[in-house]
Structure 1
Amino acid sequence: MKEKIILFDTTLRDGEQSLKTNLGTKDKITIALALENMGIDIIEVGFPISSPKDYKTSQEISKIIKNSKICGLARCTEKDIDAVYESLKKSKNFRIHIFLATSPIHIITKLKTTLNDVIEKIIFMIKYARKYTNDIEFSCEDASRTPIKNLCLIVNAAIRAGATTINIPDTVGYTFPQEYYDIIYNLKNEVDNIDKCIISVHTHNDLGMAVGNAITAINAGARQIEGTVNGIGERAGNCALEEIIMALYTRKQNMNVYTNIKYNKIYITSKIVSEICNIPLSINKAIVGKNAFSHSSGIHQDGILKNKKTYEILDPKFIGVNETEFNLTSKSGRAAVKYHMELMGYKSNTYDINKLYNNFIKLADKKGQIFNYDLESLAFNNEIDNITEYYSVKYFNVESNSSSISIATIKLQCGNLIKLEAATGLGPVDAIYKAIIRITNYNIDLIKYRLIAKNHTEKSIGQVEIKIKYKKKIFHGIGLSKDIIEASIIAIVNSLNDIWRFDQVKKNILKNKS
């Protein structure tokens, strides 16, 4: 019979500790609601004694969350425990989470006490907390560096005192998976009252072992996993819950466990946490990274088109991602090029795939990533040399000051003509954009502007990436320059050249049909 894995999310507590600024109450409520909607069993909403703001926020969340259990963190002191109770008592379903260090290095150098005193304090504080609730979790801070005999004594005492969940954290991300397995296995076999509690694990990623350690802990008998969305947290972060969830699902025949997660809410929850916490996801982040379901290799693309399972062990739609993405680069094959042409509605008998592919490779080597509108231009122009740059920058001047009103003067080469326009805007980019619009008369929307600093030296180069919407299509532009104003202009002009070519191709197609 399959056993349930309890998912304990600490994004709002351990995750927030890694942020440069504290989250606002509204932001925390938004994340808490997303976690509840995703099906998280327990949400650790904060460390109420740490600040009046954390106390108030924990209190507000406790009034709103109904389906997930609410939890607050406390040190082994009466004041901390009282604060957790007072902030969470509006919830009918709350937990008090108490922690105390148990490893020799912490006991001797940080607490300056003895193991016996630590055990006595743990017993007293768990009994004290039980006057508020029977749902008590005790964490042995730095458990993975605590001698197993000492750990067994501590866990036994905590359970006798009334703890219903015992957390065995790898606080500094030091432990290897086999070592972690042995710790949980020994506790299961050496502590005589261990069956009276749930064993939990809280793993950190300092050596990149967080998810691996959590998996081995489950195999050894742990039934609660603590982590954060996107793996945010102290130092290198925590166990990424979305990774552990999908590992358990994908390998469910091996694990024989289950969760109550709504899988199709994983991606949107990840996006919410990333945006609110202002922590962009690495493009190669497992499960939720931009490249998690994208393919560039021609061999992989061909395999995916024949059978998705050749190179994808997960269905992206299962976690809320729209679809598999094929990046068109010089590594892509004919199959991917043909596939993209089919997506745009072009049948194979309307163009020469061999000529298109040869021109595609030439342009990809020059440009990098290729987009659908590039393919159209290549498919319906005889040679790559005919892919012309209609617009080019001849001159620009931008004046900006603290009033936020900027003036941009732009001179562009437009085919055989040179045109000059000026415009005002709310900032230099807005002024540039408006001046260029006056020259080209394109009905476009600048929907994304991103500045990337390549380095921080005198020779540093700024990279501007933009997205422009035109006739319901998205066009991409990139500009590189030591001057970010110039980089912005280049990016816009590059995208306008793509738009111009797109229009020319459409005109040619209509002309040929008529």
Structure 2
Amino acid sequence: MTIQHPNFGAMAPDRVIIFDTTLRDGEQSPGFSMTLSEKVRMAEALAELGVDVIEAGFPIASNDDFAAVKTIAETVRGPVICGLARSSPGDIVRAAEALRPAERRRIHTFISTSPLHMKFKLRMEPEAVLDAITASVTLARNHADDVEWSAEDGTRTDIDFLCRAVEAAIRAGATTINVPDTVGYAVPEDLRRIFSTLRERVPGADAVIFSAHNHNDLGLAVANTLAALDGGARQVEGAINGIGERAGNCSIEEVVMAMRTRPDSYGFSNGIETPNILKTSRLLSTITGFDVQPNKAIVGRNAFAHESGIHQDGMLKNAATYEIMTPDSVGWTKSNLVLGKHSGRAAFRDKLVQLGYGEIGDNRLNEAFRRFKDLADRKKTVFEDDIIALIDETVVRDHERVSFEELEVRSGSKGPSTADLVLSIDGVRRSARAQGDGPVDAAFRAIRELFPHEATLALFSVGAVTPETDAQARCTVRLQENGRLVDGQGADTDTVVSAALAYVHALNKLLVKRERREPEALSA
């Protein structure tokens, strides 16, 4: 049956709306906060990927969140731009104000419906919750034709009450009904049954889109989302790389490729440009400083790697023996080795296009090429992962207050290490010498001397980008201050330089976060 939707028109029965919440639920993950410019860059990438709805943030949470939603509404075209709001009038009006510039807008309002949440979180009786649903959706419809209503903790809600709540939301004008597995408790059969029951029992259910928003606490988010489609849901909510509260959300790239790879089981269509998946995943990793694990489905670096001799033999004879999708279908290339010190700018630009960085500007290209040549002079072989690490470092350091200039360390088994460090702080070069227990400690002490701060070091890790002895070291530094967590990354063939770059990167993120009030923790 065709559904008439205010933002999507006549919806074919097999069309699935892709609702991306990377910028809202995803950003609530500890350490994943993004600056305004980073959010806009990510939203533009999501639009290029082909998502149908971008949940840009929670406008009432802070002035920063409001500005991000408003700026994305002003600048990003194509997807519906959505803002989250609780059931209170202030939240809804604030969301409507932020979304006003969007060419296509949606207000997403929610309230808890499970007995546990109503009793201990809301301290409201069920009838009062039903009244709140009616009032909030009615108000939202006064500000937007497209209103999504969510039953927080929906999968732990009594099914009879859930039917009443959904009926109230539809009657008040909701166009999309979302039943989130907020705490990742459900199993696939639960989702299939819930959506089937709602579509069968609730008056008006045939005129709205049902949506699934599943968390991954039991590792079942994608399986639950696919089961929800079996039950009649036609919108799926998730995040790039599966980021989100606790164990994360349904991974957009995984559920999309499941639909594409298994049309025999999931005969649905969507608007995702799958060759852009890897590029979008890597951009998010660059912005947040969190890489996906190597064996992550679709976007992990081992997703299309084959080491076993048996597998390699099969691949040489027919790739389909061990690959159920082609690497290029999600944005991967097949080459392993790239470029060297004799390569020119044209070859370098061509490789960036292959890796998904074709949109890089001339100034950034020139800086990246200079750093590539420096790296090529120091390494025998430059791999694709070396290029990715180099470009990521260049892209993420826009508009920084503190930048790394020079570092010289002296260390050994006799006595403390010494670091001579030069930083540029607000455009002014400053230098300091510090001693420490090892060269990394000395470098970090020098940074603190040049730019005093109270943040504590919560994590320091080192890994090699590639396996050789002259490989680049990739360091991660996590700083903590007044409940804020930020992560910075750096890559260099010198491990101490990489560590200093990572610390400076984290420090720049911390300076941005100091000026913003953290969004209230929500998990619709």
Query: Paired residue for 2:170?
Result: 159
TM-score calculated relative to the size of structure 1:
0.66
Question: Contact (CA 8 Å) 2:89, 2:139: kept in 1 or not?
Answer: yes
Within the candidate set 389, 407, 420, 1:401 is matched to 420
SS of 1:179's equivalent in the other structure is: helix
Change (3 A) 1:144 1:324: farther
Correspondence 1:465 to 2:432: no
Matched residues in 2 for 1:90 and 1:490: separation? 47
Question: 1 or 2 for the larger relative contact order (CA 8 Å, sep ≥6)?
Answer: 2
Correspondence 1:51 to 2:62: yes
SS of 2:47's equivalent in the other structure is: helix
Matched residues in 2 for 1:24 and 1:201: separation? 28
Query: Paired residue for 2:78?
Result: 67
Question: Contact (CA 8 Å) 2:470, 2:493: kept in 1 or not?
Answer: no
Matched residues in 1 for 2:54 and 2:494: separation? 47
Residue 488 (structure 1) shift: 7.5
Question: Contact (CA 8 Å) 2:33, 2:288: kept in 1 or not?
Answer: no
Question: Contact (CA 8 Å) 2:276, 2:330: kept in 1 or not?
Answer: yes
SS of 2:171's equivalent in the other structure is: helix
Q: How does 1:347-426 map to 2 (within 5 A)?
A: 399-402=418-421
Within the candidate set 202, 205, 222, 1:211 is matched to 222
Change (3 A) 1:113 1:201: same
Q: How does 1:486-497 map to 2 (within 5 A)?
A: none
Change (3 A) 1:159 1:54: same
Correspondence 1:239 to 2:250: yes
Change (3 A) 1:76 1:256: same
Residue 306 (structure 1) shift: 0.4
Query: Paired residue for 2:101?
Result: 90
Question: Contact (CA 8 Å) 2:466, 2:472: kept in 1 or not?
Answer: no
SS of 2:324's equivalent in the other structure is: coil
1:401 alignment partner AA: D
1:301 alignment partner AA: Q
Residue 192 (structure 1) shift: 2.4
Task: State the Cα deviation string for residues 284-317 of structure 1 (Å, max 9, x = none).
Answer: 0000001000011110011011000000001001
Query: Paired residue for 1:182?
Result: 193
Question: Contact (CA 8 Å) 1:6, 1:225: kept in 2 or not?
Answer: yes
Question: Contact (CA 8 Å) 2:421, 2:432: kept in 1 or not?
Answer: no
Matched residues in 1 for 2:214 and 2:66: separation? 26
Gaps of 5+ in 2: 1-11, 338-379, 383-411, 424-430, 434-441, 444-458, 474-491, 498-524
Matched residues in 2 for 1:208 and 1:156: separation? 31
Residue 171 (structure 1) shift: 0.2
Question: Contact (CA 8 Å) 1:47, 1:55: kept in 2 or not?
Answer: yes
Matched residues in 1 for 2:319 and 2:58: separation? 45
Within the candidate set 176, 196, 206, 2:207 is matched to 196
Correspondence 1:16 to 2:15: no
Kindly name which structure, 1 or 2, has the bigger radius of gyration based on alpha carbons.
Answer: 1
Matched residues in 1 for 2:465 and 2:23: separation? 33
Task: State the Cα deviation string for residues 61-107 of structure 1 (Å, max 9, x = none).
Answer: 10111111000000001110000110110112100000000000000
Matched residues in 1 for 2:178 and 2:63: separation? 27
Change (3 A) 1:476 1:306: farther
Query: Paired residue for 2:513?
Result: none
Correspondence 1:293 to 2:292: no
Matched residues in 2 for 1:287 and 1:89: separation? 36
Residue 185 (structure 1) shift: 1.1
Question: Contact (CA 8 Å) 2:114, 2:152: kept in 1 or not?
Answer: yes
Residue 153 (structure 1) shift: 0.8
2:220 alignment partner AA: M
Task: State the Cα deviation string for residues 228-286 of structure 1 (Å, max 9, x = none).
Answer: 00000000000000000000000113211111111111100000011101111100000
Matched residues in 2 for 1:226 and 1:294: separation? 29
Question: Contact (CA 8 Å) 1:465, 1:476: kept in 2 or not?
Answer: no
Query: Paired residue for 2:240?
Result: 229
Question: Contact (CA 8 Å) 1:188, 1:221: kept in 2 or not?
Answer: yes
Query: Paired residue for 1:32?
Result: 43
Residue 23 (structure 1) shift: 1.1
Task: State the Cα deviation string for residues 111-153 of structure 1 (Å, max 9, x = none).
Answer: 1111111001100111111111121100000000001111111
Change (3 A) 1:182 1:26: same
Within the candidate set 261, 277, 286, 1:266 is matched to 277
1:144 alignment partner AA: T
Correspondence 1:41 to 2:52: yes
Query: Paired residue for 1:444?
Result: none
SS of 2:106's equivalent in the other structure is: strand
Matched residues in 1 for 2:287 and 2:495: separation? 31
Question: Contact (CA 8 Å) 1:47, 1:74: kept in 2 or not?
Answer: yes
SS of 1:120's equivalent in the other structure is: helix
1:400 alignment partner AA: A
Query: Paired residue for 2:342?
Result: none
Matched residues in 2 for 1:192 and 1:287: separation? 40
Gaps of 5+ in 1: 327-370, 374-394, 408-426, 429-454, 457-461, 469-473, 480-486, 493-514
Matched residues in 2 for 1:168 and 1:322: separation? 38
Q: What is the aligned-residue identity percentage?
A: 41
User: Matched residue pairs, number?
Assistant: 367
Matched residues in 2 for 1:286 and 1:56: separation? 34
Change (3 A) 1:292 1:491: farther
Task: State the Cα deviation string for residues 381-416 of structure 1 (Å, max 9, x = none).
Answer: xxxxxxxxxxxxxx9997423557799xxxxxxxxx
TM-score calculated relative to the size of structure 2:
0.65
